[in-house]
Structure 1
Amino acid sequence: MKRSSFELVETHIPSLRRYALVLLRHDEPRADDLVQDCLERAMSRWHLWRRPGNLRGWLFTILHNIYVNDVARAVARPDVVEIQDYFPAMAVPPNQADRIQLREVTAAIQELPDPQRQTLLLVTMEGFSYDETADITGVPIGTVMSRLSRAREKVRAASWGETRESGRRIT
């Protein structure tokens, strides 16, 4: 792997680490190990990357597959997960109602089943398309769409008490 190739990969390390932290429920040492394993695998298989392909998507796919294959079975999951690092810092300190709502949304995301949480974060926080998310997670696009829909509905219901039965349109 040439220096210029590493520089291409280096720009994606912060988002890979952020996703790894969420996958591993903010276990920083394990997240760092996961990112390192991802980078090692990418470097050793650099010849497999299809240029000018989607490098970011390829790296996220590697990270996700390592997590699923090697890490997911061994991770002891705590009852409470902090994902505040995933939310950008607010320019204006939130008022009490905003803090309560943020806490409710954060708790609702933490309680989602892993596949729904992963899909929600890849699409909403990392900005991947449904197709890219399907490629990264190795599931059909319809599964991505249903996981995303269920995740959004659960977060909305938990934080605002809205459900499909409430008559409101869930977007």
Structure 2
Amino acid sequence: MLPRLWRYGWVLSRQKHVADDLVQATCVRALERAGQFAAGTRLDRWLLSIMHSIWLNELRSQRVRQGQGFVDAEQELSFDGESQAQDQVLAAQVIKRVNSLPEAQRETVFLAYVEGLSYKEIAEVLHIPVGTVMSRLAAARLKLAESAPAKAQQDKSSGERR
């Protein structure tokens, strides 16, 4: 579960050291509240839900302390450029486009497409209705389709699939 927690922490914070702290805080809280885990339920959903709660509490605390809101969704990732492989370039483009989504859509996309959670599971992790999950994913798909490179748009109009 640690790699999955770290990935989700990174998606939420987009900072390695903050993701590390979120994973540690999640594990500590889970151990402290192990008695609250319901047998027969999925551990991954429980842990992701704990992390989401910790992250929201941190954002609220920052807003109170510093007068700041949510993390700016326009902030770009920086890559060290070690590898010039085509798959890494494509991955960077996809990450950049996904990072340009509003935070709520970005974390919903991550839970659906990276972690493979169902709509119901995402709703439970984020404490929102299933309809909101569906709405966020639909809006994210539209935004990602609008921001697709020109070549992909041309292929789409000609009926070619790449």
Q: Give me the TM-score of the superposition, normalised by structure 1.
A: 0.73
Which residue does 1:117 correspond to in 2? 106
Distance 2:45 2:33 in 1: 15
Shift of 1:22: 1.2
**1:146 aligns to 2:135 (yes or no):** yes
Cα offsets for 1:2-24 (capped at 9, x unmatched): xxxxxxxxxx0110001101110
Cα offsets for 1:76-112 (capped at 9, x unmatched): 746533298xxxxxxxx427xx83x544322221111
Shift of 1:155: 1.2
Shift of 1:70: 2.1
Q: Counterpart of 2:28 in 1: which secondary structure?
A: helix
**Which amino acid in the other structure matches residue 159 of structure 1?**
A
Aligned CA-pair RMSD: 2.5
**Could you list the runs of 4 or more consecutive aligned residues of structure 1 that deviate by over 3 angstroms after TM superposition?**
75-79, 101-104
Which residue does 1:58 correspond to in 2? 46
Unaligned runs of 5+ in 2: 80-84
Distance 1:80 1:115 in 2: 15
* Identity across the alignment (%): 34
Shift of 1:148: 0.6
Q: Give me the TM-score of the superposition, normalised by structure 2.
A: 0.76
**1:67 aligns to 2:55 (yes or no):** yes
Q: Counterpart of 2:53 in 1: which secondary structure?
A: helix
Q: How many residues align?
A: 141
Name which of 34, 38, 46 aligns with 1:46: 34
**Which amino acid in the other structure matches residue 62 of structure 1?**
I
